[in-house]
């Protein structure tokens, strides 16, 4: 990714700032006879213009060749620069790798030259740390198992509470329906009783 950015960045800078100027310079250098004829020729101005136009009438030489040099400057030179930079970075990486290998060898010699007592102490210290970590891991596993057990118990309790709640809601719905039926029957009976009383009283 870094190499691609190194390649694209010079291209963008040249396309933004140098493509026009490089084309003008290339065109001027290749078609120098056009300017020499216009400026230094002793012929009349009209003849000078006609003669100068003859130098730039060839599209391939007068226009395509400057365009080719412009493209080479804008596109090819950044690639060459990036390639050279890549080679330099490779050499730097190899140099750093060699320095790292030398330093690694020096450290290895220092470790080899250490006393047996120090190495034994380091081993004991590392073993003690490993033992401590193992104990901590065992405690964490036990705590995790305990938490999992509590979660399972709570889940079962919640499921039971939900089932009981659903049962209570269902019973309440049934009782509500039954009470509605009783209310309708009672209302009907009261209505009939009222009609009988009204009829008995001659109303």
Top-confidence residue, 62 or 186 = 186
Is residue 89 a part of any domain in this protein? yes
- Domain for residue 179, yes or no? no
The yes-or-no verdict on residue 15 having pLDDT over 60 is: no
The confidence score (pLDDT) of residue 5 equals 63
Residue 10 is predicted with a pLDDT of 60
How far apart, in whole angstroms, are the C-alpha atoms of residue 52 and residue 6? Answer: 43
Predicted confidence at residue 34, as pLDDT, reads 77
For helices 2-17 and 19-30, give the axis angle rounded to 10 degrees. 60
Given this model, what pLDDT does residue 115 score? 67
Give residue 71's domain range: 2-115
Q: For 74-87, how does the pLDDT look when each residue is reduced to its tens digit (9 = 90+)? A: 777 778 778 888 88
Alpha-carbon gap, residue 129 to 135, rounded angstroms: 10
Closest of 29, 112, 113 to residue 69, by C-alpha: 29
Longest dimension (CA), the chain: 147
Residue 201: helix, strand or coil by DSSP?
coil
Instruction: Assign 202 a pLDDT band (cuts: 50, 70, 90).
Output: low
What's the predicted TM-score (pTM) here? Answer: 0.30
Q: What is the mean pLDDT of residues 112-129?
A: 73
Position 72 in a domain: yes
Q: State residue 187's pLDDT score.
A: 81
Decide if 147 contacts 155 (C-beta within 8 A). Answer: no
pLDDT-derived band at 114 (thresholds 50, 70, 90) equals low
Q: Percent of the chain having pLDDT more than 70?
A: 84
Look at residue 161 and tell me whether its pLDDT is greater than 60: yes
Domain membership flag for residue 164: no
How many residues would you count in the chain?
A: 203
Number of domains making up the chain: 1
Rounded to whole angstroms, how far apart are CA atoms 16 and 8?
12
Instruction: Assess if residue 26 is contained within a domain.
Output: yes
pLDDT at residue 16, as a whole number: 54
pLDDT at 203 over 60: no
Q: What is the mean pLDDT of residues 21-30?
A: 78
Q: Is residue 202 part of a domain?
A: no
Query: Measured between alpha carbons, how far is 53 from 41 in angstroms, rounded to an integer?
Result: 13
User: Where is mean pLDDT largest: 13-22, 39-48, 169-178?
Assistant: 169-178
* 103 falls within a domain: yes
So what's the pLDDT on residue 136? 87
| CB contact at 8 A, 35 and 94 | no
Task: Write out pLDDT tens, residues 166-190.
Answer: 888 888 888 888 888 888 888 888 8
**Residue 62 is assigned to a structural domain of this protein:** yes
């Amino acid at each position: 990714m870094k190499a691609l950015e190194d390649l694209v960045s010079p291209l963008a800078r040249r396309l933004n700032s140098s493509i026009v100027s490089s084309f003008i310079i290339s065109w001027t250098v290749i078609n120098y006879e056009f300017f020499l004829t216009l400026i230094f020729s002793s012929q009349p101005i009209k003849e000078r213009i006609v003669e100068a136009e003859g130098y730039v009438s060839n599209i391939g030489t007068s226009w395509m060749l400057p365009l080719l040099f412009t493209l080479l400057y804008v596109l090819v030179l950044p690639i060459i620069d990036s390639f050279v930079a890549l080679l330099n970075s490779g050499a730097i990486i190899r140099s750093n790798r060699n320095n790292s290998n030398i330093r690694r060898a020096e450290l290895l010699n220092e470790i080899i030259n250490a006393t047996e007592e120090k190495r034994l102490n380091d081993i004991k210290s590392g073993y003690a740390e490993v033992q401590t970590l193992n104990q901590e891991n065992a405690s964490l596993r036990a705590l995790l198992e305990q938490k999992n057990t509590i979660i399972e118990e709570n889940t079962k309790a919640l499921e039971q509470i939900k089932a009981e709640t659903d049962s209570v809601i269902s019973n309440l719905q049934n009782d509500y329906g039954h009470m509605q039926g009783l209310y309708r029957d009672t209302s009907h009976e009261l209505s009939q009783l009222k009609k009988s009383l009204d009829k008995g009283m001659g109303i």
